[in-house]
Amino acid sequence: MRILITGGAGFIGSHLAEALLARGDQVAVVDCFEPFYAEEAKRRNLAPALAAGATLIEADIRDAGALLGAVRSAGPELVVHLAARPGVGPSLEQPGLYVDLNVAGTVSVLEACRQAGVARLVVASSSSVYGLNRSVPFKETDRTASPASPYGATKAATELLCHTYAHLHGQDITCLRFFTVYGPRQRPDMAIHKFARLLTAGEPVKLYGTGSARDYTYVSDAVDGVVRSLDRVDGFRLYNIGSGRRIELETVVEELSKALGVRPRIEREGWQPGDVVQTLADIELARAELGYEAAVPFSEGVRQFAAWFLAQHGSTVR
């Protein structure tokens, strides 16, 4: 299958590109190396996929003409739309930028696919759409009208736009709600990566609020969810892609410290704006319709991340 991935130089996208190439798909990547974090890291992410035969088209998804040209040039049978401005906290500071990249950018992708005759898409959403929902585990049928951050609101808007295009233009679109994906190549702003930098520097880790817990999804499980969904795109669909297990934040620090071989120091702080107390995915629908099942235990996933982190930053810790 010919597949185009937007944001393919990112954390999930680069792993997905390699997985698709390994199974024999033709892969094109669209990325503008938007400077949310270092361009060098993104190019390093993508290097194995390029070496294995992927093609790179450097374009901004908000540039409608350039994106349409990229889609027509690649001639994909399916587009996986992962490009977005990530991060809950930063979205509080730059909400307009998040709307521009995540909402207007998604419209640009949907329009390019419509004009180029690409009728099948898989689109990244987020557990952030559940926002202030206190009923766990989160189900795809739960109300998503109370996001707790501009980032969550842009992802909810993304889903609504996908539904509209599926309805109006007959496109087959699957939206995947990812739950805190982690592993090698994880973005440096995300908690596990940030904790690793602090722990190896001998600095304290700040934990915000009390009782915070998340559903952590190892990157190979997230990629498996994408691959399973793209083989079954039909109509408009929504799926949770998580582990179905809730991990307390203290446990995250303990497991990561053990994997890095350091003793943790923890400092307590109050809740931050935009935070939610907990996330937990109900994955029954993905299990039933996609055959999806998270396979990597959290302790093993943290060990894999720690090995990658130490290889990237050196094995000497304080």
Residue type, 145: A
Burial of 264 by CB count in 10 Å (0-12 exposed, 13-18 middle, 19+ buried)? Answer: middle
Q: Give the torsion sign (CA, 80, 219, 281, 277).
A: negative
Are residues 193 and 309 in contact, defined by beta-carbon separation less than 8 angstroms? yes
Contact 223, 15 (CB under 8 A): yes
Concerning whether 151 is annotated as a catalytic residue, the answer is: yes
Structure token digits, residue 86? 């990530």
Active-site residue among 98, 130, 151, 216? 151
> Pick from 230, 228, 231, 121: which is nearest to 166 by CA?
121
Contact 96, 19 (CB under 8 A): no
Q: What is the DSSP letter of 272?
A: P
49 dihedral zone (left: phi>0; alpha: psi -120 to 50; beta): alpha
Which residues, 6+ apart, have CB-to-CB distance to 293 below 8 Å? 283, 287
> Which residue numbers are catalytic?
151
